[in-house]
């Protein structure tokens, strides 16, 4: 059996949503500072950036791709479903918030979602086999549509799955999902960590961005998959796969919306997990905790359209403004990462701009 050695440097691209261009800036800063990653470990929106970086050879082509008219038209074309009715969405969110139990019922990831997104994303075709390696985090669904609504009764509903190459799979062999342990309460995640070396990267990205209640789960070859939110900050995986880890310090999840959703579907407290992550070892911490404030008006926004009784995704009104927003996101990622690599080189302690009781690591 071939022996695989750990990667030298893993950059974790955790989340980001449709502000994923800031990860292109982060990667460019890592290269420019003399710290090029040889592995990108990505989840959710970060997986789009990772796929673009792997496929295209330089910053100019990557930025051109994510700011292209085709990408603009794709994002503008995302439509809300009847489930995104304003009254219904608020009532369902309130119900989840009032429930204190964790994953009592098997959730509907097949029909209960706000926005339609195509199975095929506008990703560039990969050119050759060189360049940075990519591993993408998702979750295999361990139930069928006919099981929806039944009592979970302790059943494990998801298996964390990493989509990557043979080297990534070998390095993760025998590992348990970090979120499956009793430390995280009565969660719905199976102990065994799965790997998949055959999934096309376009499908892996589509799987990873499939956040519950936002997009439908993704199906391929008779199997069903959910998003990278199953392990949004996979620091343990990065530590297992590489000698050096580059990861972000993140803002806390919303206590009113995101935390109840995570509790209802996965049975975990996302902010408890985030505090744990911020207390772990990493070689470089990139502070993106203020991304919502700095890029508040940049890119796609959710808007309440009262006349239509719909929550809609709204893009910049014209293409040139969209290009400017992509540039702002790229520059944000580049600046935060250059700052982080400089601090690490000077052996300075990382500082978080937006630290609250929900995301601050325990002393």
What's residue 127's pLDDT?
Answer: 74
Task: Kindly state the average pLDDT of the residues 140-157.
Answer: 95
161 close to 143: Cβ distance less than 8 angstroms:
no
Per the CB < 8 A criterion, the answer to whether 307 and 314 are in contact is: no
**Neighbouring residues of 232: CB distance < 8 A, sequence distance ≥ 6:** 14, 15, 43, 44, 137, 270, 273
**CB-side neighbour CA atoms (13 Å) of 18:** 24
Q: How does pLDDT run across 153-209, given as a tens digit for each residue?
A: 999 999 999 999 999 999 999 999 999 988 888 899 999 999 999 999 999 999 999
What pLDDT does residue 363 have?
A: 63
| Amino acid 185: pLDDT | 85
CB of 184 within 8 A of CB of 231?
Answer: no
Burial of residue 215 (number of CB atoms within 10 Å: 0-12, 13-18, 19+):
buried
Condensed to tens digits (0 to 9), the pLDDT of residues 83-131 reads: 888 888 888 777 788 777 788 899 999 999 988 988 788 999 887 666 8
Q: How far apart are CA 42 and CA 54, in angstroms?
A: 12
- Helix (H), strand (E) at residue 337: helix 319-345
Mean pLDDT of 346-353: 92
Q: Is there a contact between 81 and 39 (Cβ–Cβ < 8 Å)?
A: no
- Higher-confidence residue of 362 and 295: namely 295
pLDDT at 303 over 70: yes
pLDDT band at 133 (very low <50, low <70, confident <90, very high): very high
> How confident is the model at residue 129, as a pLDDT?
65
Its pTM stands at 0.95
pLDDT, residue 128, reads 64
pLDDT, tens only, 252-290 = 989 888 898 899 899 999 999 999 999 999 999 999 999
What number is the average pLDDT over the span 316-342?
Answer: 95
Decide the pairing of beta strands 39-43 and 213-215: unpaired
pLDDT reading at 28 higher than 90: yes
pLDDT over threshold 90, residue 362: no
Average pLDDT over residues 286-315: 84
CB-based contact 282:349 (threshold 8 Å): no
Percent of the chain residues past pLDDT 90, beyond the cut: 70
CB 218 within 8 A of CB 224: yes
Rounded distance, CA 194 to CA 169, Å? 9
Q: What is the mean pLDDT of the chain?
A: 92
What is the average per-residue pLDDT within 214-225?
94
Burial of 213 (0-12, 13-18, 19+ CB in 10 A): buried
Report the pLDDT value the prediction gives residue 130, as an integer from 0 to 100: 65
């Amino acid at each position: 059996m071939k022996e695989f050695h750990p990667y030298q440097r893993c950059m974790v691209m955790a989340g980001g949503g449709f502000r994923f261009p800031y990860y292109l800036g982060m990667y460019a800063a890592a290269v420019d500072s003399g710290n090029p990653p040889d592995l990108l470990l990505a989840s959710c929106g970060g997986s789009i950036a990772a796929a673009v970086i792997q496929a295209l050879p330089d910053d100019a082509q990557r930025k051109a791709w994510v700011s292209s008219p085709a990408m603009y038209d794709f994002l503008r074309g995302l439509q809300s479903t009847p489930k995104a009715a304003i009254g219904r969405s608020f009532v369902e969110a309130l119900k989840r918030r009032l429930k204190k139990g964790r994953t009592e019922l098997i959730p509907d990831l097949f029909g209960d979602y706000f926005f339609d997104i195509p199975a095929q994303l506008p990703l560039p075709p990969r050119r050759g086999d060189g360049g940075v390696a990519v591993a993408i985090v998702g979750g295999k669904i361990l139930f069928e549509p006919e099981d929806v609504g039944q009592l979970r009764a302790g059943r494990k509903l998801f298996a964390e799955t990493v989509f990557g190459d043979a080297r990534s799979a070998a390095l993760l062999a025998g590992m348990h999902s970090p979120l499956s342990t009793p430390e995280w309460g009565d969660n719905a995640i199976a102990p065994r960590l799965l790997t998949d070396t055959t999934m096309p990267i376009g499908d892996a990205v589509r799987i990873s961005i499939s956040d519950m209640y936002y997009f439908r789960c993704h199906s391929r070859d008779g199997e069903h998959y959910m998003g990278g939110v199953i392990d949004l900050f996979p620091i343990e995986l990065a530590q297992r796969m590489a000698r050096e880890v580059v990861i972000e310090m993140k803002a806390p999840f919303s206590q009113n919306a995101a935390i109840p959703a995570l509790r209802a579907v996965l049975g975990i407290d996302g902010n408890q997990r985030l505090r744990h992550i911020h207390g772990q070892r990493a070689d470089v911490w990139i502070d993106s905790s203020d991304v919502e404030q700095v890029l508040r008006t940049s890119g796609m926004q959710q808007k309440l359209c009262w006349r239509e009784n719909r929550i809609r995704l709204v893009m910049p009104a014209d293409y040139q403004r969209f290009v400017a927003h992509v540039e702002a996101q790229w520059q944000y990622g580049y600046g935060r990462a250059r700052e982080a690599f400089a601090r690490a080189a000077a052996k300075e302690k990382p500082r978080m701009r937006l630290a609250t009781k929900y995301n601050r690591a325990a002393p």
